[in-house]
Structure 1
Amino acid sequence: MQRSISTVLLVLLTGGLFSHHALAEQVQVAVAANFTAPLQALAAAFEQDSEHRVLAAFGASGQLYAQIVHGAPFEVLLSADASIPAKLDSEGLGVSGSRFTYAVGSLVLWSADPAYLDGSPAALKANQYRHLALANPKAAPYGLAAHEVLEKLDLSAATRHKWVEGQSITQAHQFIATGNAELGFVALSQVYKDGQLSSGSAWRVPAELHTPIRQDALLLKNGEHNPAAAAFIAYLKSAKAAAIIKAYGYQL
């Protein structure tokens, strides 16, 4: 099986591949880019509470889907939407009955400049910026939500020539963080922790301006007989995991 993963960043979240405990296993998890920070926190807690280890790859959900279809050895998928896990399930690549919603995401308009946004869409509507960052809507559900917001605000045509698209929500965030775009749409979890904005300025987009970002998890066929995969799925449904997920601005 081809084991190289070209379109996602493979990150080992532990200090080593193997536990000192004989029964310890590792689980390979494909994770939507918007969920990077929460997953890192969840993995650390899961590894402390169990004898298992998490090996995670982050990327746009569409890219992760392509990797799974082409044989990537992932055992669990944490998507940024509900449609991709459902599609994999229907294609026989998921374990029947394992799919569930682990988080509902929030979209935010963000600028690295603390004075650029005033908690409203005023700067977006003023259209005085040179670049507006967003994720590719074909690969990233948060990018699709951003497109829906611009349509609802009747700003798509007026701003289209200023769009800079990242292949994932992580890349869209990088465009803004580095100043290549004055503002843009990112996941709230990328700029929010423990009830407050971690940097810059923002407008939290009202949920009614876009389709709900329901993020579903799926146990993949590769992980069907892996006790670490089953344990991680169970952990995601726990009260401790829920508290971590909520801390990053997600709803359950």
Structure 2
Amino acid sequence: MLKKERHQFIMNKFQQVEKINTIDLALELNISEDTIRRDFIELNDKGLINKVYGGAFLVKNNNKNVFDITIINEDKKISVAKKALSFLNEGQVIIMSGGTTNLTLCKLIPLNFTATIYTYSLPIAMQLSQHPNIELIFIGGKLQKQAMVTVGIDVVQVLSKIKADICFMGVSSIDVNQGLTEIGYEVSVIKKEMIRASDKVIALLTSEKMNSKMPHKVCDLDKLYAVVTDLNVASPKIKNFVDSGIKVL
């Protein structure tokens, strides 16, 4: 795993846990503790985490409004979201996963747009609550406080009864051979159910998520209707995805 991929893995892992132990992470990734320590130092210097003896914590600002979310690589995510708008049609039944790329998409949806949208993401639900013509259904369950999404059997049961036209799927990692993968098992299960419930699945991701993988499989690429990225379709980085036959925007 390249350093950039490890850093992404570490930041994604903080969506599931409050502290990461150096030894445990080294064993999980099958690399040296010194490598993990160097990663922690770099992320600490960037202000993303607090490195402590034996591990690290995610940087938190307790005075910040819980819904005032910082969006990393916002320019890339706006590019993705603008492309994704082309898949919206009036009157659709839509499922939206969590993630800041989907949150960016929600901010760009026209205020007069009419649809029914299901989501398990609290920030996305709060954003969509400003749209008067959207019938918004927030799927309740056990709240993952770091990611601000609900998980558990209650979420799965609601999704099992939905028939959606389209699902906008935020992506943690994507690889031609491994497909979509997630760092957390519970979220991977919920995303599988979202895919099952939807006629079309649109994967939204920025380029740093490409050609990487996480521990828990979500689906193969053939389950996706399209992949939307911030890259030009001529970019060499997505050539293997295009060659595999998947629609890439």
What TM-score results when the alignment is normalised by the length of structure 1?
Answer: 0.32
Higher relative contact order structure (alpha carbons within 8 Å, sequence separation ≥ 6): 1
What TM-score results when the alignment is normalised by the length of structure 2?
Answer: 0.33
